[in-house]
A = this chain, B = another copy of it.
Amino acid sequence: MIDDPVISRTDRTRRAILEAAYTLFISQGYAATSMRQVAERAGLALGSIYNHFASKEDIFSSVLIDRHPYHQILPHLTEARGNTMDEFVRDAASRLVDELEKRPEFLNLMLIELVEFKGKHAPLLFEKIFPDIQILIGRMAVFQDDLRPIPLPMMIRAFIGMFFSYFLTGLLLKDLMPPAMQENSLETFVNIFLNGIKQPSQAENELSTHSSTPETL
């Protein structure tokens, strides 16, 4: 064979199909995307797709597995650095939000899976991301002494949930929220989370602006 044996012609075509389908799914949803659109974007005839995938849903589940947001986000989190709990959480939060803001589209994949497939591919997915979660838990364990007695997996779930929803609410409401609802909002979320998980003895350094009364409304 003359061609690169590592990336065969078949592989390249298969990837082109997945790439095209990914782009179309996230911008239109699954049901609203036609196989003809996928074919055109991938540069082949409609019929040719079926040499690589058995059906439309087969394409979707393949896209889901190798483009799922968790898969892109968790590795960034496992790279988070910091000498203290505060630094680590801040670094992780800003990596997470950066990544989400850089590619807001790929959240759609997860939402499509939820709405149009009722989460039926979730087991497949969880299997894939579990190792990353284990790594993340391991990295957090270093700071055990600074933490309240909360199971680490629960904390990670709370962390991801909190900042995912920070991003989602911002996305949905960005032009509509009253200013008080968005000023320094990431910093505020980080502080709520940090105070929520840290041992009370450490909780005071720099995070609480002590005597001032809360802003009204």
The interface residues of chain A, by DSSP majority, are classed as helix
Give the number of copies in the complex: 2
Which parts of A128-176 form the interface with B (CB within 8 Å)? Answer: 137, 141, 144-145, 147-155, 157-158, 160-162, 164-166, 168-169, 171-173, 175-176
Q: How far is the CB of A205 from chain B (nearest CB, A)?
A: 11
Contact, CB under 8 Å: B158 / A192: yes
- Is there a chain B Cβ closer than 8 Å to A46's Cβ? no
A214–B143 CA distance with the chains assembled, in angstroms? 10
A199–B212 CA distance with the chains assembled, in angstroms? 11
Q: How far is the CB of A22 from chain B (nearest CB, A)?
A: 14
- Is there a chain B Cβ closer than 8 Å to A209's Cβ? yes
On chain B, the residues within 8 Å of A196 by CB distance are 191-196
- Is there a chain B Cβ closer than 8 Å to A197's Cβ? yes
- Is there a chain B Cβ closer than 8 Å to A37's Cβ? no
